[in-house]
Each structure stands twice: as C-alpha cells, then as structure tokens.
Structure 1
C-alpha cells in the first residue's frame, strides 16, 4: 500500500495561477510595453558588447566625422548607423551608454525614495502622535515645492559649494541623492495611509499581545501588506526620476557631456537643430519618450490590476 502526498505548489505555480499573470496574458499593451522596456534595459546594460565604439575613449573619437547623418539620409557613413554628434562620437554608441546612465539614476533614485518614504510612512502611520505630525508636516513642506525646483536648488548649491569638477565626477551619485531626497514624500504619504488601515486589524493586535516589538510588527507584519501600492508608485517614480534627470541635464545641472545620459545628449544636440543636425537631439529624445511611455503604461496596468475596481481586462 502506497501513500500519496500532496506536493505544495511552488512559487512559480502560484504565480501562474495568480490574477496578475492572468491579466497580463490578456493585456497586449502591457506585454508590448514590458517587451520594449526589457529590450531597452538589456541593450543599455549590454552597451560594452553592442556599441561599436566606446564614447569615453578619446582615441575612438574622430572630430572630422562630426555631424554625420543617419544611414537613411544622403551623406551618411555606413560605419555610423545613426550618425554622429558634434564631437564625432557614434550616436548609437552614446545612446546605449546614455540610456544605461539614465536607468541607473532612475532605479537608484527610486530605491532611495522607497527606503526613506517607506520607513517614514511606517513610523508615521504606526506610531502616530508627535512622530506622525512631525513627519507629515515635513512631507507637506517638501511637497509645497516642485520636485524640479528642489533638485535645481540643491544641485546648484552642491555645485557651487563642492565645485563643478567634483559634481561632474560624482554626477550619477549626486543626481540619485538629489532626485531621491526630493520625492520620498510620495511613498511616505501612501504607506502611512495603508498602515493606518492595517494597524487596527486583528493580526496586529495578536502580534502586540504576543509581546513583539513595534519595529518587528512594522517591518515583518504590517509592511508586507502595504507592498501593492509601493509597487505601483515605483513604476511611476522610475519614469519621473528619468524625466527629472533629463530636465536637470538639459538645464546644465545633470550629467556632463563627457559622461552622457539621454538628457545631456538632448541638450548637447539642441544647439545644432537649426543647422540641420536634428538627429543629435531628436533620436535620443525619441528613445527617452519610448522608455518613459513604456514604464508609464506598465504602471497604469499594474495600478488597475492591484485595484480590481479599476480593472477592465
């Protein structure tokens, strides 16, 4: 006589049976946006393998080949499929490297935002009282200023205090800090609202009766039940961080031209539009639009899936 045991479903099996996977299979827009986003991410982080030249290596830059048009325009050089910029750098190569920089800043800034916002939101919602009042008034004060204004002021102060050379050398880190510190209230307010709804439930009361510390209850019990809105916010905030980086770079407070991002590429080619070299700005601009649009549409789909009342699949 043999005994049969029911094997517990794996995480992959549970995911395949989930509503998220079911709705994703039915939504062609979400599938297309995810495919586009993954292609851009893979291409960007494979830049050393895919790029014909290294834009950071001055030996590979030919100033005599500057402002060459893309392959579909007369006068193009087959060596440069998307043309060259004003410095003679291969545009395809610097777009790959620039997209990688923009993604690093976007993801890095959102990680910092989430760490600060989730921590402050948990503390404000769970502890309440003066802690809640102080943190929320701090968030209100910061939200009274636009993100771009905060980033411009902080970036200008840092650049003036530490010097332009220091800012250029650590531009990626500085932009992550500036954009991350400017946007944490978005997470804090959302997490606080979720915590206020969760902390009165029975499982939180049971954890208190068992003598668990507040820190353990917040991070081990309450936080996992507030992850859905955090995921939705993160998708939107990644797009916002990439746009903020592009805006700061366009204003001269972002990435330097020697270490390009999508924003600095758009700025570098803006002065050459009227001279006929429109591709230096428009092609990186198109890549930026496609990247941000794919992230935003994924965020819209995820928001609808996480809120069944909004789902129309």
Structure 2
C-alpha cells in the first residue's frame, strides 16, 4: 500500500518525474561512455593537437567528427564530457558514502550514549565544521603531492577527492542522526528492548537506526549534489581532478582560459551538464523531503 502511494504521489509530480528522467539519462550516458562516446579521451593515439578548439558542428570551420567541437587538447567535447561526468558522479557518490558511514556511526554513538561522549563528539563535529572543504583539500592535497609527487596525485586523484570531501562533510550526517536517535531512544520500543536484555549495540543498529533512515535518505540526496559541486569547485581552483583526468569541474577550468578567445563551448557545455546534473538531484531531493515529511507534503 505504501509503495503504491509512493509511486502514485511521484507520478503526480511532473517536476519530479522529469528530474528523474534527466538524471537517469545522464547517469546511463556517463557510465555507458565506453560504448556511447564516439572517441576515447584517454587514448592519446586518437587525439591530434591540430584538431584543438574546433567549434560545434553547427558553426563554421567545424568538423563532422566532433558534434560539440573539441577542447584545447584536441579531445572530442562530447566524449570528454561523458567520461568526465562519470568521474564527477563517482566522486559524489563515494564521498557521500564515506560521509554517511562516519556520520551515522558517530551520530548513533553520540545520541545513544549521551553525556560526556556526546559532548566530546559534538565538539569534534563543531571543530570539523570550522574547516571548509577547501581548507581540508589544500591541506591533504599539498601533503599528498609533497610526499608522493604530482604523478602519483594524478593517479590517485579520485580516491583522494572522495576522502577529502567525505571527511570534510560528515558532521552534517552526525548531527542529523544524533537528533533522531535522541528522540527515538526515549520511546517505548527502546525501553522494551533494554528490559529484555538486548545489548546497546544491537539496540542502536537493529532498532533505532532503521527509524532514522528517513532523515538520512533525504540528506543524502542533498549531499550528493553538494559533493559534485565541491569536486567541480576544487577542480576549478586547481585542487581537484587534473586536466589529464577529465571531470566536469576540470573541463570547466580547462576551457575558462579560452572563453574570451572565442572557444566558449569548452566551458559552456560542461557547465550546462553540471547544472543539469545538480539540478535534477536537488529537485528529486526536494520532492523526497516533502513526501517523507507529512507536515510539508500536500495532496
């Protein structure tokens, strides 16, 4: 019954349906890039520098091989965007998974145990929130490059960015889960579980946690969009993905130097793709928040 109500409510919202359609289209296209993309931007044998900065196919001096033109390195823009979007999505999902694991664990313990442990963990979260994602990226990025060199950084840029963004944003989950746990642990089913002798760990993970997943699900949709934006921002200021490993952020950064010379498509098309991706995720998150909150959702 609940599933049919969920589906019925979703299908009645054309904005949510359209957002899901666009999101699925972008995800399928990006992860299917090896099959869909006309060129492989990682295969240097197929890239010719003489093809650099060719305009989209509907403009003069274009090449029919490159539908959306080429970038400053001669790579096909459409192919590079598809591969780059896949990198951005992987970083966004990976960072949110790390945030969720850290935040849920800390929030559960802080909310259930309370007292000194709760105070210590929440002050730790406050300290973490005082450092922005960019500060964390500067610190760990500079440390990694100094220790292992730029070549190693380019090779491990994706897991490093997942760690940086995930480590910087876990307090959002911790505070949300802690608030839900503090409300749930006072309810009768938790008292009953204590009376029959269940261990605190079992009570937290098997009984309290499932009742906090609604808030976790809602915040996850927002955090995915935030993580993708963080990767794009870090790449734009030179702290994210290198130009040789395209992401939407690094493509925008690479094309920004050429936007005033007439090669506007190098920045515009990845920027539009980034906006569509983030907007579709945010709109789905807004609908999900309204649906799961009976005070906000209206028939």
TM-score (norm 2): 0.97
Task: Tell me the equivalent position of 1:79.
Answer: 65
Aligned pairs for 1:199-214 (under 5 A) are 199-214=185-200
Higher deviation after alignment, 98-107 or 74-83: 74-83
Aligned pairs for 1:13-28 (under 5 A) are 14-16=2-4, 18=5, 20-28=6-14
Deviation at 1:14, TM superposition (A): 4.8
User: Structure 2: which 5+ residue stretches go unaligned?
Assistant: none
Q: Distance in 2 between matches of 1:165 and 1:242?
A: 24
- The equivalent position to 1:128 in structure 2, one of 114, 120, 141, is 114
Q: Distance in 2 between matches of 1:308 and 1:150?
A: 38
Deviation at 1:200, TM superposition (A): 0.8
Tell me if the contact between 1:125 and 1:193 (Cα under 8 Å) persists in the aligned partners: yes
Task: Tell me the equivalent position of 2:89.
Answer: 103
Deviations 1:64-112 (A, max 9, x none): 1111101121111111000000111100000000000000000000000
SS class of match (1:274): helix
Task: Tell me the equivalent position of 1:288.
Answer: 274
Deviation at 1:161, TM superposition (A): 2.9
Deviations 1:156-177 (A, max 9, x none): 2322333222211100000000
Q: Distance in 2 between matches of 1:295 and 1:159?
A: 33
Aligned pairs for 1:95-244 (under 5 A) are 95-244=81-230
Tell me if the contact between 1:143 and 1:185 (Cα under 8 Å) persists in the aligned partners: yes
Tell me if the contact between 2:10 and 2:17 (Cα under 8 Å) persists in the aligned partners: yes
C-alpha root-mean-square deviation of aligned residues, in Å?
1.1
Deviation at 1:153, TM superposition (A): 2.8
Deviation at 1:138, TM superposition (A): 0.3
Tell me if the contact between 1:175 and 1:245 (Cα under 8 Å) persists in the aligned partners: yes
Structure 1 residue 44 corresponds to structure 2 residue 26: no
Tell me if the contact between 1:67 and 1:277 (Cα under 8 Å) persists in the aligned partners: yes
**Count of residues in Structure 1 that have an aligned counterpart in Structure 2:** 299
Deviation at 1:221, TM superposition (A): 0.4
Q: Distance in 1 between matches of 2:293 and 2:142?
A: 41
Task: Tell me the equivalent position of 2:54.
Answer: 68
Q: Distance in 2 between matches of 1:163 and 1:207?
A: 53
User: Structure 1: which 5+ residue stretches go unaligned?
Assistant: 1-12
Task: Tell me the equivalent position of 2:296.
Answer: 310
Deviation at 1:151, TM superposition (A): 2.5
